[in-house]
Amino acid sequence: MNYELTSHNSFAALLDAAVDSIIVSDSTGIMLVVNPAATKLFGYQKKEIMGKNIKMLMPEKDNLHHDGYMKNYLETGQRKIIGLGRETTGVKKDHSVFPMYLSVGHIKNSDGDNFVGIIHDLTTRQQQQRQLEQHEIEIRKLQEKLAHVARISTLGEMVTGIAHEINQPLTAISTYAQGSIRMLNSKAADTTELLAAQQKITGQAERAAQVIGKIRNFAKKTNIKHQPQNCNALISEVASLAEVHAKELGVTLQLQLSEHPDLLVMVDGIQVQQVALNLINNAIESMTNAQDQKQVIIRTTKLDENTAEISVHDNGEGLAEALEEQMFDAFFTTKSAGLGMGLAICQSIIASHQGIIRFRRNPDKGCTFSFTLPTAVGITL
């Protein structure tokens, strides 16, 4: 179709039909044409704004510069907004400020210079954007909560081992303390022996405190924060926590750390430890009924400049091929006391780190789970 705006009527019809606001002003900013969409948007009657300065529709900060912009453009042709478009704000009759996209064109005719402004209201778009952002924040909070609940539940599953791990130093402390009392009661108390007993007590108390410290750190409620972390340190620490569960089931853990001691990953440390602990615990549990040596190998590797990989290898019973596809589904479990949330949470945590979690059947026995993480390239601690 070809519209030729030759007659005044078709120009008026176009202005009336336009969804966006159209305002024509002269070079001093006096409004000469205002279409219905504009009066509606700004909340004025046509007669209230016709012949007034366009500055009344702008917030004070723009309004102060407006004359300068126009003058400057007309004198120098320098464009700040004229001939271009930009997001800015407008002011309605009720003084409320709203976001808008403004494009301004220069009309040169026999009467002099006029300007046409086309205004697109961005209120709805901005609201939608805010809602979307709010939604994303809520999802992140939910993921944080879910991950936290899962960590507590993992610790719950490990509680017997943990109790054992703490009970050992407590028993030792009690034994050394009783020995010290006996020595003190007998007349011939030997200070060297007493000192040795006190040192043993201190050492054991520190050991118990370390176990509690690790558990407290792991059980903490934290906001997700991605920062450079030493990959080997993260995994060694979590392996020592898993040791508790391993010992209980007669499994040995073997750590094979990357030869890059400064391998840094850009991650939320606790969440990554949570993934590793889940995989290690699953590996340990897969060997409950195994006859031969029960061993889990935990490996950290630098795949390339941008990627690190952590893998957990077991020689357990594996899983029936038909069930492999469901492994990462929420609530899928083959254990009588399993919750089936472990791998589902691992997957969501790794996805939020732009990583990939994979499962592979070992050629001989058992399986290997691995996940990738982004390295903190160029960032040094």
Ligand X SMILES: Nc1ncnc2c1ncn2[C@@H]1O[C@H](COP(=O)(O)OP(=O)(O)O)[C@@H](O)[C@H]1O
Choose the stretch contacting Mg ion; rule: CB under 5 A; options: 169-177, 196-204, 234-242, 335-343.
335-343
What DSSP line would sit under 246-315, residue for residue?
Answer: HHHTT-EEEEE--S-TT-EEEE-HHHHHHHHHHHHHHHHHTTTT--S--EEEEEEEEEETTEEEEEEEE-
* Segment interacting with ligand X, rule: CB under 6 A, options 6-14, 58-66, 113-121, 316-324: 316-324
**332 touches ligand X by CB under 6 A:** yes
CA distance 109 to 242: 81
Single out the residue of 36, 228, 318, 374 in contact with ligand X (rule: CB under 6 A). Answer: 318
- 3-class SS of residue 6: coil
Phi-psi region of 43 (alpha: psi -120 to 50; beta: other; left: phi over 0): left
- Of 176-184, 254-262, 338-346, 357-365, the window that binds Mg ion (rule: CB under 5 A) is 338-346
Instruction: Show the binding pattern over residues 234-273: x = contacts Mg ion (CB under 5 A), - = does not.
Output: ----------------------------------------
User: What Å distances lie between residue 351 and 136, 223, 271, CA to CA?
Assistant: 15, 17, 12
Nearest CB to ligand X, comparing residues 173 and 344: 344
Minimum CB distance to ligand X, residue 96 (Å): 52
Q: Is 86 left (phi over 0), alpha (psi -120 to 50) or beta?
A: beta
Q: By CB under 6 A, is residue 311 in contact with ligand X?
A: no
Q: Say if residue 381 is exposed, middle or buried (CB neighbours under 10 Å; 0-12, 13-18, 19+).
A: exposed
Judged by CB under 5 A, the stretch of 1-9, 43-51, 341-349, 363-371 that binds Mg ion is: 341-349
- Is residue 310 close enough to count as binding ligand X by CB under 6 A? no
Site for Mg ion in 276-295 (CB under 5 A): 282
Q: Nearest Cα to 85, choosing from 112, 116, 58, 57?
A: 116
- Contact call for residue 360 and ligand X (CB under 6 A): no
Q: Is 274 one of the binding residues for Mg ion (CB under 5 A)?
A: no
Residues engaged in binding ligand X (CB under 6 A): 278, 282-283, 286, 314, 316, 318-319, 327, 332-335, 338-344, 367
